[in-house]
Amino acid sequence: MRKVLFSFGAAAMLLLSSCAGVQSPVMGMLYTDVKAPVTATSNSGSSKVGTAKAGSILGLVATGDASIQTAAQSAGITKIHHVDHHSNSILGIISSYTITVYGE
Amino acid sequence: MVNKNKTRGEGKQPSFLSFQRMHFKHLFTIILALVVSTVQLIAQDISKYYAVGTQEPGNIYFIYPQKGFKTPKGESFIYDITYLSPQDSLSIKFTYSDRDLLAIDSLGWKSSTLTVSSPVKKIYIEASSKWIYRYEVKLPVDAMYKIYSNTTDIPEINLFCADRIISFEIKKKNWKKYASINHRIFDLIHLNNKK
């Protein structure tokens, strides 16, 4: 009985943890909170920062606009210095992907 | 000795459906426990609320967008904060949606002890089902540090337009959360600014 329950739980955990996967250089099955680079340019200086976000629930519903253009527009950035992203996922149930643009 | 099988309806075997239901109950409890423990583990970590980078002449700090302030009608005021150290002012960029066309002049924060306001600068205005206003305002760092230092003194945000003033309020619970996060970030900025 316990074995069945355990294998049931383990299988469900494995399935659920991958159902709302988020792009990240390293992934955690239970929890992901990773910041990583996207790109860098030769422009110098950054006094403005803008973000754009997309999210997913259970891998069933995914909404948002995590484009560099939206992030840059939100802060009025016309010259991009560099771009980072932040991936966050809790048990693969709730995931979010945030783009952060630095520039002037 | 008590026969456990007999207590479940005169020796009848549980149906497949009830067996499945029982498993889902346990599974749900396991997942809920994992979610709660993971959230509790990360609750005190403020690093996910801001980003920092090295930038001449100091550091550039960015506090990710925060919600909570709303008009009595439920329209949200979403804002983020950028601060380039060691400047005296920080930049608050905010988004507000309204059915009406507005001519926004300035923005002010008002607590029981402090009032700060400054003219706004337009970033863009978009047309959707409502008008989406994205503006920027520069406010003194020290004043904002003081506002965020008090988790019990709930401030009000006022958006001054040509023909009216739009006020935003925040729930006590939300203010307590965001004020304590921002206060810790401002503590960090203050410590790094010290020579």
pLDDT single digits (tens) A39-54 = 999 988 889 999 999 9
Which of A43-47, B26-30, B162-166 is the least confident region?
B26-30
Q: What is the percent of chain B with per-residue pLDDT over 90, rounded to a whole number?
A: 69
- By Cβ distance, the residue of B35, B60, B64 closest to A91 is B35
Q: Which residue of A has its CA nearest to B41?
A: A31
pLDDT-based confidence at B130, cuts 50/70/90?
A: very high
pTM of the model: 0.77
B136, B96, B53: which is closest to A35 by C-alpha?
B53
Which of B3-12, B104-113, B116-125 is the least confident region?
B3-12
- Rounded to the nearest angstrom, the gap between the alpha carbon of residue B33 and the centroid of all alpha carbons in its chain is 25
For A7, the token pair is: 């294998």
Instruction: Give Dmax over CA atoms of chain B in angstroms.
Output: 83
User: Hey, are the CB atoms on B31 and A90 less than 8 Å from each other?
Assistant: no
pLDDT, one tens digit per residue, over B148-163 is 999 999 999 999 999 9
Q: Which residues of chain B lie closer than 8 angstroms to A72, CB-CB?
A: none
- Rounded to the nearest angstrom, the gap between the alpha carbon of residue B160 and the centroid of all alpha carbons in its chain is 22
pLDDT at B12: 55
pLDDT at A20: 62
Range B19-40 average pLDDT? 67
Provide the residue type at B187 as one letter.
Answer: D
Range B15-39 average pLDDT? 67
Q: What angle do CA A43, A83, B45 make, to 5 degrees?
A: 135
Range B92-114 average pLDDT? 95
Q: What angle do CA B171, B176, B178 make, to 5 degrees?
A: 95
* Complex prediction ipTM: 0.75
Taking a C-beta distance cutoff of 8 angstroms, is the pair A50, A77 a contact?
Answer: yes
Q: What is the percent of chain A with per-residue pLDDT over 70, rounded to a whole number?
A: 81
B93 touches chain A (CB under 8 A): yes
- By Cβ distance, the residue of B41, B42, B62 closest to A49 is B62
B64 touches chain A (CB under 8 A): yes
A75 touches chain B (CB under 8 A): yes
Taking a C-beta distance cutoff of 8 angstroms, is the pair A48, A77 a contact?
Answer: yes
Whether the predicted pLDDT of A67 surpasses 70: yes
Give dist(CA A67, CA A64) in Å, integer. Answer: 9
**Residue of B55, B126, B137 to mutate, interface with A, max A Cβ within 10 Å:** B55
